[in-house]
């Protein structure tokens, strides 16, 4: 019965399709919105170095762990752990992942809504100033409204709901395959403009000249959390996507390619933003609004700026949409496989749940501005609780599972596609990392970053 169900699963249709989908999950608001603002808030270059270390030594191994688990079991985040370890509560790791997907989507759809709104504002000529006061005011007016940002959030949810109901291959592949090269090209154009602004040098040294005195435990936790968020790992999204991947795919190679490409996009977004931050007299630690107040100034100081600005927000919206599809796929695969819900029912109810939860994030700048959870607004709480707590926690358990619970011979067989690839050495290094380094490193950073232990 189970076997039959899994046999019927739709998969990604080609190797390019898989990379596009996994990259489509990784690249999103994380690169274009979050990476710059978190880098700005944590002091720049030194933070970026720590971030790169987190990606290579922690994020990448967890990503590979998830892909291996997913492809091996051909199941959703919960079902995968149940299949591999039926008698122990490891499936709770998948359960926490489903919860994380809701929490991330709650604030992700808020920001995606702002991006969708900016497409129209840019097109309508409402963002034509290069003055910090003007671009800040335009953004503040949008987010402190009630009906307008809620409308855009619901709009986003309807768009992704429609795409999801069209199915795995058709929906996800088509959207993501087309867009990556275009987004890349546009970022390149903005980078050139930003780098040639008078005073751009200050922004460049902010990005690339590290000041190590800026590194504190909370900075390290922010870098680690961002690495998880960026690579879409720690909550079973890559287990779910891995379950659609063909058995001949070279998973380690794919994970490395995705992490490299993703990091490149983040750095390019940084180069687009920081020279302009300093050239136009903004502050780098402006927080979540950074992208929205800086980007208009860059475009407004270049020829055809308005056209390019519309294109930029459009491509960012599409990238965000690809990322959201992977987030949604976690609860949807769970509900359809574990409870035999139809895809339609699972999609509709998931989206409804996210809409309800997410509206509290959207209203964090207006009606609920004074309502706090652990001293944070709903928006900040969802963001912090997922990136800086739940994803790293998920990462610890996913690594521990592969390092200590899963038979190493089986791990190596899965990693080498049943012995077809020769990557024994790499596999040994990987197992060593997930067995010792990854869980210990995350645990220390998490405990210290949350002030539970002190060095
Ligand atoms: N990586 C995406 C981004 O940077 C966000 C994302 C998509 C995500 N799927 C995820 C984050 C799963 C954590 C887990 O925008």
- CB of 350 closer than 6 angstroms to any ligand 1 atom: no
Report helix, strand or coil for 341.
Answer: coil
- Ligand 1 pocket test: pick from 227, 321, 323, 332 the residue with the most ligand atoms within 8 Å of its Cβ: 323
Q: Which two tokens stand for residue 69?
A: 């688990």
Q: Is the CB of 327 under 6 A from ligand 1?
A: yes
Q: What residue spans define the domains of the chain?
A: 2-449
Cβ of 265 closer than 6 Å to ligand 1, yes or no, is no
89-114 burial: b if 16+ Cβ within 10 Å, else e: ebbebbbbbbbbbbbbbbbbbbbbbb
Ligand 1 contacts CB of residue 326 (under 6 A): yes
Q: Who's near 20: CB < 8 A, 6+ residues apart?
A: 173, 176, 177, 180
pTM score > 0.75 for this model?
yes
Please name the residue whose Cα sits nearest to atom 10 of ligand 1.
232
CA distance 78 to 58: 22
Predicted confidence at residue 251, as pLDDT, reads 96
pLDDT at 5 over 50: no
As a whole number of angstroms, the distance between CA 46 and CA 189 comes to 26
Distance 332 CA to ligand 1 centre (A): 16
Q: Which atom of ligand 1 is nearest to 387's Cα?
A: 13
Residue 15 Cα, ligand 1 centroid: separation in angstroms?
A: 21
Q: How far is the CA of 327 from the centre of ligand 1 (A)?
A: 7
State residue 1's pLDDT score. Answer: 36
pLDDT band for position 331 (cuts 50, 70, 90): very high
Within 13 A of 20's CA, how many CA atoms are on the CB side? Answer: 20
What is the distance between the alpha carbons of residues 58 and 63, in angstroms, rounded to a whole number?
Answer: 9
**What is the pLDDT, as a whole number, of residue 177?**
67
Q: What is the pLDDT of residue 129?
A: 82
- If you average pLDDT over every residue of the chain, what do you get? 92
pLDDT of residue 351: 97
In the predicted model, what is the mean pLDDT of residues 191-199? 92
Q: How far is the CA of 229 from the centre of ligand 1 (A)?
A: 5
d(CA 302, CA 231): 32
State the angle between helix axes of 15-26 and 305-338 in degrees (0 to 180), rounded to the nearest 10: 110
Distance from the alpha carbon of residue 409 to the mean position of ligand 1, in angstroms: 31
Read off the pLDDT of residues 209-230 as tens digits, 9 standing for 90 and up: 999 999 999 999 999 999 999 9
Write phi, then psi, for 373 (nearest 5 degrees).
-120, 125
pLDDT per residue as tens digits for the range 346-369: 999 999 999 999 999 999 999 999
Instruction: Please state, in angstroms and rounded to a whole number, the distance separating the CA atoms of residues 127 and 424.
Output: 55
CATH 1.25.40.340 fits 2-449, yes or no: no
Structure tokens at 91: 């499936």
Q: Ligand 1 within 6 A of 386 CB?
A: no
DSSP code for 435 = I
H/E stretch holding 11 reads none
């Amino acid at each position: 019965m189970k076997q039959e169900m899994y046999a019927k699963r739709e998969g990604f249709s080609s190797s390019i399709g898989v990379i596009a989908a996994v990259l489509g999950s990784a690249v999103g608001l994380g690169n274009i919105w979050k990476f710059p603002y978190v880098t700005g808030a944590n002091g720049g270059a030194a933070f970026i170095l720590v971030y790169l270390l987190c990606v290579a030594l922690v994020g990448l191994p967890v990503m590979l762990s998830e892909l291996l688990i997913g492809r091996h079991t051909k199941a959703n985040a919960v079902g995968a752990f149940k299949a591999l370890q039926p008698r122990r509560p490891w499936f709770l790791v998948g359960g926490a992942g489903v919860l994380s997907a809701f929490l991330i989507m709650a604030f992700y759809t808020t920001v995606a809504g702002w991006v969708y709104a900016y497409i129209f504002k840019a097109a309508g000529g409402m963002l034509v100033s290069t003055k910090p006061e003007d671009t800040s005011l335009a953004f503040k007016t949008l987010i402190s409204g009630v009906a307008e940002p809620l409308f855009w959030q619901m709009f986003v949810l309807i768009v992704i709901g429609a795409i999801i109901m069209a199915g795995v291959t058709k929906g996800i592949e088509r959207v993501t395959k087309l867009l990556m090269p275009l987004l890349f090209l546009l970022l390149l154009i903005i980078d050139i403009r930003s780098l040639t602004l008078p005073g751009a040098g200050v922004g460049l040294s902010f990005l690339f000249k590290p000041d190590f005195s800026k590194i504190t435990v909370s900075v390290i936790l922010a870098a680690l959390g961002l690495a998880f968020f960026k690579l879409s790992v720690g909550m079973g999204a890559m287990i779910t996507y891995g379950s659609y991947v063909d058995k001949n795919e070279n998973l380690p190679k794919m994970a490395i390619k995705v992490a490299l490409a993703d990091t490149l996009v983040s750095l390019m977004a940084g180069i687009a933003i920081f020279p302009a931050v300093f050239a136009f007299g903004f502050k780098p630690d402006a927080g979540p609004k950074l992208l929205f107040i800086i980007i208009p100034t860059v475009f407004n100081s270049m020829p055809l700026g308005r056209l390019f600005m519309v294109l930029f927000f459009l491509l960012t919206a599409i990238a965000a949409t690809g990322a959201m599809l992977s987030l949604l796929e976690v609860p949807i695969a769970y509900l359809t496989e574990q409870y035999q819900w139809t895809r339609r029912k699972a999609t509709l109810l998931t989206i409804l749940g996210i809409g309800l939860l997410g509206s509290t994030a959207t209203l964090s700048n207006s009606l609920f501005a004074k309502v706090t959870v652990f001293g944070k607004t709903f928006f900040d709480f969802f963001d912090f609780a997922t990136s800086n707590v739940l994803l790293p926690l998920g990462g610890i358990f996913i690594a521990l599972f592969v390092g200590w619970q899963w038979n190493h011979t089986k791990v190596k067989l899965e990693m080498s596609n049943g012995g077809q690839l020769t990557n024994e050495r790499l596999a040994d290094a990987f197992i060593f990392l997930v067995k010792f380094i990854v869980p210990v490193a995350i645990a220390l950073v998490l405990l210290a970053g949350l002030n539970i232990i002190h060095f």
